[in-house]
Amino acid sequence: MTDSQPSSPLAANIRQWRVRRGMSASALARDAGISKSTVSELERGIGNPSLDTLWAVAQTLHVSLGALFMGDAGPGEAELKRLTDAPIMARDGEDYIVRLMAGWRNSGEVEVAIVTLAANAVRNSKGNAPGVIERAVCVEGLVEVGPVGASLLLEPGDMLTFRADQPHLYRARAQGGRLVVVQQYPAPA
């Protein structure tokens, strides 16, 4: 792996935001109060940075902490994120755990809905308006979600992101299920 190919979303995002801000690694280190070698390690995807270090980097780059962790799935792809794979943003033992499932910028509209499905219920959609992205988080039961022919089975805590401007479905298993669905509409042209 080369320095131009970071091994993690965190590494790629720190480098991307630093370059977007027109900052050198030295300037980021100085302004964040960390060493230049720490910046280098972060951008190469090595080391184990503390939450304080990541907060300092995010504040210096003027981005949310979540922006440092987000992957790179584009609107033409479906991306499954298992709860157990989501990065931990904050933690206090087992009493309090915050896992980042998604973060995005949007100049269009965003809708959040709770979808409840009875046992074995199926809901087919012909597709939404062009450019709509959907994020479905399973909160209860087992629910098959996604584009027709490419749907995936979600367990509680799993999230699927996919283009919703194509035919897609929601199908509950025998116990029924519940989803939190976020639809992101593009800005008007």
pLDDT in tens, 38-77: 999 999 988 788 888 988 898 888 776 767 876 654 455 6
Pairwise CA distance, residues 161 & 154, whole Å: 12
Question: Residue 30: what pLDDT?
Answer: 95
Q: Which tokens hold the place of 7?
A: 């091994």
Residue 27 to residue 2: CA distance in whole angstroms: 22
Which of 11-15, 32-36, 150-154 is predicted least confidently? 11-15
pLDDT tens across 87-137, in order? 776 666 777 676 777 766 667 778 788 889 999 999 998 988 788 899 999
The 10s digit of each residue's pLDDT in 138-164 is 999 999 999 999 999 999 999 999 999
d(CA 154, CA 51): 29
Domains of the chain, first to last: 9-68 (1.10.260.40), 79-184 (2.60.120.10)
- How much is the pLDDT for 5? 43
**What pLDDT does residue 13 have?**
85
Q: Which of 8, 67, 46 is nearest to 37 (CA)?
A: 46
pLDDT value of residue 2: 40
Instruction: Give the integer Cα–Cα distance in Å for 143 and 45.
Output: 34
Which residue in this structure is represented by tokens 């995936």? 152
